[in-house]
Amino acid sequence: MECIFKVREQLEKIWELSESCSVSGTRRNRLITSMLFVSLNHCDAIQLLSQKKNFASSYALLRPLFETTFRAIWLHRCADDNQVAKCIETDDWKSAWKLVQEIESHTGNAPIFSKMWEELRDFMHSFTHGGIQNAARQISDDNFITPSLSDDEIFQLMQKVGLFSWTILGELIDLAENEDLIPIYEELGHTLQGWAFNKSSKKDVLTHASS
């Protein structure tokens, strides 16, 4: 599908731009940027696996993408120094649901990511942990072993990878305080709007996600 290649185009640009984002070397910033890098790698892997029609593995990475991104943004936008220190020292985290609610409350953004998590949480758990939801999508109606996702499911998967990777870039730019990259970031957002979101929803989704 064309959307898979649209995401690849976006990711190539984001990788290049991310290399221009140098942040101060505090313990907080090192952790946040490292986690954002992990999230971006998840985005990259989901796209590549989908391009190879390995949707079983691409779906399995969806929950780690959500959780790692929420943790990184929470550390950046919400956590105080004591909370950052506790995460570093214990690797103990609030639930993804609590993290995304705190993020959206603190930033004032529309509850886009929390709605995604709420709608997909049970499915993503099944995808990641070898449940029926993933297995059921790997056999055709006439009993051949092959991916059996609908075009709409593939599009929604790429839509999420596009939105998450764009959001990750925004966090990196903010951490680097590199205002020169903002026009390029906004241009990428307009391109993402053009293929990933319909006219009725794209403004709310991308405007609030970038705040």
Helices assigned H by DSSP within 52-181:
55-60, 62-77, 81-90, 96-107, 112-128, 132-135, 151-176
Please compute the mean of the pLDDT values over residues 45-69 and round it to a whole number.
96
Whether the CB-CB separation of 120 and 70 falls below 8 Å is answered with no
Structural domain that includes position 93 = 2-209
Confidence of residue 24 (pLDDT cuts 50, 70, 90): confident
pLDDT greater than 70 at residue 58: yes
Over the chain, what is the mean pLDDT?
A: 91
Instruction: Express each pLDDT in 60-117 by its tens digit.
Output: 999 999 999 999 999 999 999 999 999 999 999 999 999 999 999 999 989 999 999 9
What's the total number of domains in the chain? 1
Confidence of residue 206 (pLDDT cuts 50, 70, 90): very low
Please report the pLDDT score of residue 198 as a whole number. Answer: 66
Please report the pLDDT score of residue 203 as a whole number. Answer: 41
**Bigger pLDDT: 21 vs 199:** 21
Q: At a CB cut-off of 8 Å and minimum separation 6, what does 98 contact? A: none
